[in-house]
Amino acid sequence: MSGCSKCKSAADVKINVLKYCNQCFLSFFELKVQRNLHKLHSNSSILIYLSDSPSSLVAIEFLNKTLSGRKFKKLCIFCRNSLLFKTSIQFVDAEFSPENEYSLKRQSSDVIQYCLENSYDVLLYAESMNQAITGSLLLLCKGQGLDAVSYCSRNQYDSLNIVNIFEGVKQKEISYYLYLKGINDIDAKPRDVLKNKDIPVRVVIDKFISKLDEKNELAVFNIKNTFKKLYKSE
């Protein structure tokens, strides 16, 4: 592997078409994530929704860095207990998901509906591009074409702003960040061990997206951009 695209020292990892040393990767990754979090305004009522996935561990770290000490009109979280214990943020309220259930899903509109009914301005969630595309293709396989298009494209629903902490971030980047930081959690469950009738199909789609990403690192961006174009044309 040739030199880092940023500082020209020896590269350690290739992300998309660029190569980075570990230090430049960390700086670039943190900039991308914090850029999404800095969109939040102090007069907002925010619900943070974190699923049972390793990505949520990274999300918690950045929420601690960016939101600790900031005051909001309302700040609540929905997650499992062990994730909440890792936060240094003062929440108005916290709700906990059952350890073996992934019942509240963005595509089912349960979380969105909850936000609208309880006067939240912002829904903040954490999902890599790979996860978003997998969710869209899963809906497509179930015959829910319009929902599939909007799933990874929507950033607004009525008065609710929908903000993804990992907008524009691939799963490979999150996994490498976890590796470099030595972050692990035995309670974080991959989706294929959760009790969900969609799991076999989801696993197949996950593997398909991963294989595409291996062969063409821009494929994930191309798929998401296609969904965005379809969403705008509706």
**Unique residue bearing structure tokens 């561990």:** 57
What pLDDT shows up at residue 41?
Answer: 86
CB atoms within 10 A of CB 132: 22
What pLDDT shows up at residue 92?
Answer: 60
What pLDDT shows up at residue 105?
Answer: 47
What are the residue ranges in the chain where pLDDT is below 70?
Answer: 1, 81-82, 84-86, 88, 90-109, 145-154, 185-199, 231-234
The closest of 201, 173, 205 to 55, measured between CA atoms, is 173
Q: Which residues pair with 93 in a beta bridge?
A: 76
89 Cβ partners below 8 Å, 6+ apart? Answer: 63, 64, 67, 68, 75, 77
What pLDDT shows up at residue 198?
Answer: 59
Q: What is the pTM of this model?
A: 0.80
Task: Please name the CATH architecture into which domain 37-233 falls.
Answer: 3-Layer(aba) Sandwich (3.40)
Q: Which residues pair with 78 in a beta bridge?
A: 49, 95
What pLDDT shows up at residue 145?
Answer: 66
CA atoms within 13 A on the CB side of 205: 21
What pLDDT shows up at residue 82?
Answer: 65
In total, the chain counts a number of residues equal to: 234
Contact (CB, 8 A) for 58 and 88:
no
Question: What are the DSSP calls for 172-200, one per residue?
Answer: HHHHHHHHHHT---TT---GGGS--TTHH
